[in-house]
Structure 1
């Protein structure tokens, strides 16, 4: 009886791969708590990874708890709901006030397609390459949505890479921004953004949903949910829906998404050379996206006669509002009186729309 009890325990079923993944899971939890790297996501992702790698627990087996909850990922339900919460807490005013900043958000998507081509060259198929490339958008929900549709077997690696690089924005972006700009460019002070009317803010989500959905129908689930959340906010007549979308629903879905995505990172599927390649290509995608945004910002600097600070181009990735804050900090290191945050928020929120459109284009072409 004692022997049978031992053989049925997780201790007997532990192997080196499970042990390594448990260490990785605990490391993610440590980074989330001690370093505050995306704690709302890395804690559930890390704990889901921990649960999935405990031998004989059965949580990820067919019919297990995490297997059932994973249906929300595989069916593409959780990421759009996250987008609804993002929309309900996002102010598109800086983008409406300066529509040219949409170009910076679009330029940052070059990283997505550059990494896509690189992944193809390394031997990944088009669906896998698209899932790897979207990491460059620095938008976790979009990366998970696209990967669940095109390469679900890569979900664990894509999730860890996407959210890790989102958390490391303050570390990865500044060296690239400083390398590609001059001190004079970094010191440029931009004019304050104009005040946007309530009518403009109400019309914006409706118009964007119609235009984007007609051009790229595959992006409609993400864009539609992002914009209905924003419409809740800007209408001013449904405060309880705003609270539900940006608070209650957002955090519940974040828990479910994190746990189930983390649970896909089991030893046999995660500890491979392919996973290492994905993580490295994800870094390349993010670096290219940052560089493309800054370089396009330099072009706008020249065309505007020196009125646009190229640093705001780095905010064209979709890490809201972290990327905009990084642009602000880098600018203030050169001139403490410079205030770029609101100008950087335009490209930053444009990046959210841009990453969803990029995902839709990839779905249209390769799904």
Structure 2
């Protein structure tokens, strides 16, 4: 019984929020529509898979290093971040101060979180490299263009 309890706690289902549960169901619906019903599979399959990955409870795949630091609630590390932002060492106060901070200050806090040992999730890295740099839309449009059948137009 103890091992079953440890398994349930380790799976992250105890941390599943209502919003995450709804988004997981929507993601599964999109995957089902793409695979079983063949409704726009090139569009729905990546959207459903991305929604599924980003809503796994307690995985942190879509969190930046700073968001991971704030999620762990380590009092000493929160105090360091709060001192740099001149706010109370509370997660909500830090989030409010970050929302009002300049992008350069936000980058400094992100680098500080990385220096403290936190790493961004896979999806956060993908967003920064592919979407943030503007490369992903170009690759997507090239791929869709390569799959377009111009035979009927000729």
| TM-score normalised by length of structure 1 | 0.23
Match in the other structure for 2:21: 19
Match in the other structure for 1:85: 143
Match in the other structure for 2:40: 38
Q: Tell me, in whole angstroms, the C-alpha distance in 2 between the residues paired with 1:52 and 1:61.
A: 9
- Residues 30 and 12 from structure 1, CA distance in 2 versus in 1: closer, same or farther, beyond 3 angstroms? same
Q: Provide Cα deviations, 1:46-79, integer angstroms capped at 9, x if missing partner.
A: 0110111111011111111111111201221111
Q: Tell me, in whole angstroms, the C-alpha distance in 1 between the residues paired with 2:138 and 2:55.
A: 28
Instruction: State the SS of the aligned residue for 2:134.
Output: coil
- Residues 41 and 90 from structure 1, CA distance in 2 versus in 1: closer, same or farther, beyond 3 angstroms? closer
The question of 1:61 aligning with 2:63 is answered yes
Q: Tell me, in whole angstroms, the C-alpha distance in 1 between the residues paired with 2:43 and 2:125.
A: 20
Deviation at 1:23, TM superposition (A): 0.6
- Residues 88 and 7 from structure 1, CA distance in 2 versus in 1: closer, same or farther, beyond 3 angstroms? closer
Q: Tell me, in whole angstroms, the C-alpha distance in 1 between the residues paired with 2:11 and 2:19.
A: 17
Match in the other structure for 1:52: 54
Deviation at 1:39, TM superposition (A): 1.1
Q: Tell me, in whole angstroms, the C-alpha distance in 2 between the residues paired with 1:13 and 1:64.
A: 18
Match in the other structure for 2:133: 75
Q: Provide Cα deviations, 1:303-323, integer angstroms capped at 9, x if missing partner.
A: xxxxxxxxxxxxxxxxxxxxx
What is the CA RMSD across the aligned residues, in angstroms? 2.9
Q: Tell me, in whole angstroms, the C-alpha distance in 2 between the residues paired with 1:86 and 1:36.
A: 17
Structure number with the higher helix fraction is 1
Q: Tell me, in whole angstroms, the C-alpha distance in 2 between the residues paired with 1:5 and 1:27.
A: 27
Q: Which has the higher contact order (CA 8 A, sep 6+)?
A: 1
Q: Which residues of structure 2 form unaligned runs of 5+?
A: 65-119
Question: Number of aligned pairs?
Answer: 96
Q: Which residues of structure 1 form unaligned runs of 5+?
A: 94-340, 346-367
| TM-score normalised by length of structure 2 | 0.52
Q: Tell me, in whole angstroms, the C-alpha distance in 2 between the residues paired with 1:88 and 1:47.
A: 23
Deviation at 1:44, TM superposition (A): 2.1
